[in-house]
A and B are shown apart, each in its own frame.
Chain A
Amino acid sequence: MPTSDRDFTSAMRAHQPRLYRTACFLTGDHHEGEDLLQETLLEAWKSWNSFEDRSSVYTWVYRILIRRYHRWQRRQILRRMFFVSTAEQKESQTFIDPSELPGSLMEHAEQNAQLWNLLATLRPKYREVLVLRYAESMRLEQIADALQVPLGTVKSRLNHAHAQLGEKLKRAALYVTSYDVPRGPIKNRANRR
């Protein structure tokens, strides 16, 4: 059982960039992402002594991140209800400016910005499965472990997220209809033959 501060530092150092990336995707803002990361690391540090090896550090700290994210969401709801005007709400839902992206990514800058906007319009439970699936490339079982929900729930949320995202992409006319179905090695083809 890793209990020393040195173990904690080394473990978090390995996961911190990805945690930061996930936090930014979830919150849709650099600064909010940093705050969420700090809260996550702080809670992880406080409960580091109680960490058991029943799951990996990676899954454990992502579970903390998701929990802190849910708490952040509740704060956001209260803040918007009482303190933020409608105009500020719309402004806060605007994600990263495409002009902030590096030059190598400028060709897709508009589409990347579109991704942020689409994520912002999704419900949080759909947003988090999409982020964990595509940004973190987690398997469905890992997502279920991190979200602490059944595997079927993850699949259901992922389907709903895909469906909603597909509708929004159609409205945004971003679909490329000439996309070809891959003709390469097809799963189960060898087994059937």
Chain B
Amino acid sequence: MTCHEVQSKIAQIDDDSPAAEIIVHARECAACNQSLREVLWQQKWLRERFAEVSEQLLAHAPPLWGAAFQERLKGPALPALLLPVAWAAVLLGAAALGWWMWTSSPASSSKSSVAERRAPRESAERPTANANHRAHSKPISSLSEFESLGSASASSWPAETGLVLTLPEQSAVPHPSPELAVSQSLSKPDVSQSSPEPALAEASPEVAVSEPLPPAKFRFDTGVFQMEPTALAPGAKGYLAAIIPKDSTDQTTAMVALSLTGLPTKSVFYVRTKDVGGNQVSLGSGRSDINGSAVAVMLRSSPTTVAVGAPTLSVASTEPPVTLNFDGATGEDLEVVDTAGNVLMTVGAATKPQVLSRVNPSPTP
């Protein structure tokens, strides 16, 4: 028997009695003798150690039927057949609770309110055709950026078609030159042709005179006016700056600018007023920044004619009519509202610090 065979058999020794040929070979071969000794010693050591530790473990063995095991032996409280029913009842209860919470919340009390909130929000996110047209027709960097911030065209405010420029920071308010605004408005004659409102205002200015208007608290005029907060935005502050041309000879760009602070952060707001018929019209929209501040600039250019009691402006006959933000708007009850229609700020008659002296009207051509 060779050493290799003996070594393999030594490795398979399973008790203290190795085969005779292994012992005979191990007495003659030192290496095999050492391997045999190691294997036998290891097995003996293992038996002794396991025996000693087993004694200790058996001495500390727990009682067979302990209280915990007895409890587990009793099994679940419900029979196995009732478990699916119990789970179904739990799920139904959770669903009913969720439905009750959903239906009882004020946000979902009526579908109309949801639709009303969703409509201006969607319209604020959707750029209008005018904005796209302007973006393509006038690649001026500053104005393009402002236009990309979006304009609003809510379905509930049919007169809202105009340009609205919003700025995230008050310090970064650009004041576009009248020339730019004029070129902007003159570059889109097709849009104005589809709008009947300027023609209506031009054809019958006396209608606005003959019809009795409700007492107006505020009307568009050149000056700076302080905005008053409402209970919904008690910390809101701001000013309204308006440049309204006085007559048809004044070529100044009509402008209404709002500089507001204290609004809800990152929220869309709308500026609305009333037209000569007393209907609510929207001048435009804006979005407050992370600090609740916003600047909205609404422009109108081209020669204007002031209607009596209202800045409903019409274009000169030599130029194509344009659609304006505040065509027909009187500035009466000018308000800043949120997307849900809640009034955040107003311009009241009693708080109209008109600062005509500080305004430098644009020069007439």
Contacts and interface: CB of A to CB of B under 8 A. Distances in A.
Interface of A: 9, 12-13, 16-17, 20-21, 24-25, 30, 34, 37-38, 41-42, 45, 96, 100-102, 105, 108, 111-112, 114-116, 130-131, 134-135, 140, 155, 158-159, 162-163, 165-166, 169, 174-177, 179-182, 185-189, 192
A163 B11 CA distance: 8
B179 interface: no
Given A115-B49, A130-B46, A175 B17 contact: no
B16 to A, nearest CB: 6
Interface in B10-47: 11-12, 14, 16-21, 23, 26-27, 33, 36-47
A187 B12 contact: no
Given A165-B46, A181-B36, 20 more contacts: A24-B57, A25-B53, A38-B72, A108-B49, A112-B52, A114-B49, A115-B46, A115-B49, A134-B46, A134-B47, A169-B42, A176-B41, A179-B44, A181-B27, A181-B33, A181-B40, A182-B17, A186-B17, A187-B17, A189-B20
B55 interface: yes
A24 B56 CA distance: 11
Name which of B11, B61, B69 has the most chain A CB atoms within 10 A of its CB: B61
A36 to B, nearest CB: 12
Contacts of B59: 102
Contact of A185 (B17, B21, B37): B17
B60 interface: yes
Nearest to A33: B57
Interface in B58-84: 58-62, 64-66, 68-69, 72-73
Per CB-CB distance, the 8 closest pairs between chain A and chain B, nearest first, are A179-B41, A115-B49, A187-B17, A189-B20, A134-B50, A135-B50, A21-B57, A17-B61
A176 B48 CA distance: 14
Nearest to B73: A45
B61 A38 contact: no
Contacts of A181: 18, 23, 26-27, 33, 36-37, 40
29 contacts: A9-B64, A13-B64, A16-B61, A17-B61, A20-B57, A20-B58, A21-B57, A24-B57, A37-B62, A96-B53, A100-B56, A102-B56, A102-B59, A105-B55, A115-B53, A140-B14, A159-B11, A166-B39, A169-B42, A175-B38, A177-B37, A181-B26, A181-B27, A181-B37, A181-B40, A182-B40, A185-B17, A188-B20, A188-B21
B103 interface: no
A44 B60 CA distance: 23
A174 B11 contact: no
B54 interface: yes
Contacts of A101: 52-53, 56
Contacts of A185: 17
A135 to B, nearest CB: 5
Nearest to B75: A46
Interface of B: 11-12, 14, 16-21, 23, 26-27, 33, 36-50, 52-62, 64-66, 68-69, 72-73
B347 to A, nearest CB: 61
By DSSP majority rule, is chain B's interface helix, strand, loop, or mixed? helix
A169 B40 CA distance: 13
A187 B20 contact: yes
A153 B67 CA distance: 40
B11 A115 contact: no
Contacts of A182: 16-17, 40
A17 to B, nearest CB: 5
Nearest to A41: B69
Name which of B11, B21, B48, B56 has the most chain A CB atoms within 10 A of its CB: B56
B50 to A, nearest CB: 4
Contacts of B48: 108
Nearest to A13: B64
B50 A17 contact: no
B53 A112 contact: yes
Contacts of B58: 17, 20-21
Nearest to A177: B37
A38 B68 contact: yes
Contacts of B12: 155, 159
